[in-house]
Structure 1
Amino acid sequence: MSNHSQIPGLLRRLGKEIEEGGPGIEGFIDDLQMFQDHRSSSSVVGLKAKLTDAEREDEIDSAELKKELFAKLLLRMQHYPSAQRIFALFLARINDVFEHHITPHANESGLDRRAVDGIIEEKIVQPTLQDMGEGFEHFTINHAHVRGMIYWLADRCFVRWK
């Protein structure tokens, strides 16, 4: 089965951008800017509040660390358009999985924590790591980064567990 992901091509482009020292850009592409802005429609605001609401208080300390790990990676790579596109694709995947597979079903059918964690692993973590493949010396994404993206989105009110 071949991989039809956009990520390998973006990684090659990113490698060239880094080697050539550019093209550096200011600001974020529209697809990423959407996630940079905090949503204001949520009644439960912030990562800690969302985890508490979902009875995941035991994750708070680790979640904060992973969110910061991803935020630092994003900051380090923000001037490379290809890196922004990669982040936008992964963040869109996370947002979509939560909007369509987790949040509505957690409320309707009462998905338990184990089921939610299974969906996250199967539909977010594993596909993201597969898309990245080996990465390359300037840019790799591991489990902590992927979970950091989830927590980063939760802090911006795009993701909630229930």
Structure 2
Amino acid sequence: SDQISKDESMVGFVDDLQFFIDNRDGETVVGLKQKLEICGRGAAFNDAKKKKELFAKLLMRFERFSSAQQLFAYIMAAIHETFDTKIIPSTSSLSTQEIDAMIEAEIVDKIMAEIGEGSDHMTLNRTHIKGMIYWLADKCYVRWHCD
């Protein structure tokens, strides 16, 4: 965006993003590894951890740019809402593969189609989107199980 190219800096996170940076209250399962294990996804932990860390680095790289923060917050809100309204209600009736296909179609494909391949200054790819999902899971805003 224009703001990133002008290099306007800011301190702190915009409110919409701060919402997701703060851990969600009231969750009993703590840590990404446990969250993946509880729903039979323990084998995905190493890959998930790498993707989560890749996104965390991107978040820190653009922490001083409100336009980048707004974009991250927008995508996180979309991920969060899709999990709450479509994915979590389906977890008891669909297989892991079906849930993964739903995440690809309803989240990754839709977001990539909407944002395109990013601006010249910040490229977001499918791996970043997956990293956001795992990052949000670690913060308790996303889960693959209903209880």
TM beyond 0.5: yes
Answer yes or no: is the 8 Å Cα contact 2:23–2:140 preserved in 1. Answer: yes
Residue 5 of structure 1 is matched in structure 2 by none
Structure 1: state its 5+ residue gaps: 1-13
Residue 39 of structure 1 is matched in structure 2 by 24
- Residue 68 (str. 1) matches residue 53 (str. 2): yes
- How many residues align? The count is 145
Shift of 1:105: 2.4
Residue 97 of structure 2 is matched in structure 1 by 114
Answer yes or no: is the 8 Å Cα contact 1:132–1:140 preserved in 2. Answer: no
Structure 2 residue matching 1:135: 3-state secondary structure: coil
TM-score for both structures, normalised by structure 1: 0.85
Partner amino acid, structure 1, of 2:11: E
Residue 155 of structure 1 is matched in structure 2 by 138
Among 2, 10, 15, the residue aligned to 1:30: 15
- Residue 87 (str. 1) matches residue 72 (str. 2): yes
Residue 10 of structure 1 is matched in structure 2 by none
Q: Distance in 2 between matches of 1:42 and 1:85?
A: 26
Partner amino acid, structure 2, of 1:57: G
Tell me which stretches of 4 or more aligned residues in structure 1 moved more than 3 Å: none
1:91-148 deviations in whole A, cap 9, x for unaligned? 00110111111112214xx321111111101111011111221323320111110100
Partner amino acid, structure 1, of 2:66: P
Among 14, 18, 23, the residue aligned to 2:4: 18
Q: Distance in 1 between matches of 2:5 and 2:58?
A: 18
Q: CA RMSD in A?
A: 1.1
Structure 2 residue matching 1:140: 3-state secondary structure: coil
Larger Rg: 1
Q: Distance in 2 between matches of 1:61 and 1:104?
A: 26
Residue 134 of structure 1 is matched in structure 2 by 117
Amino-acid identity (%): 44
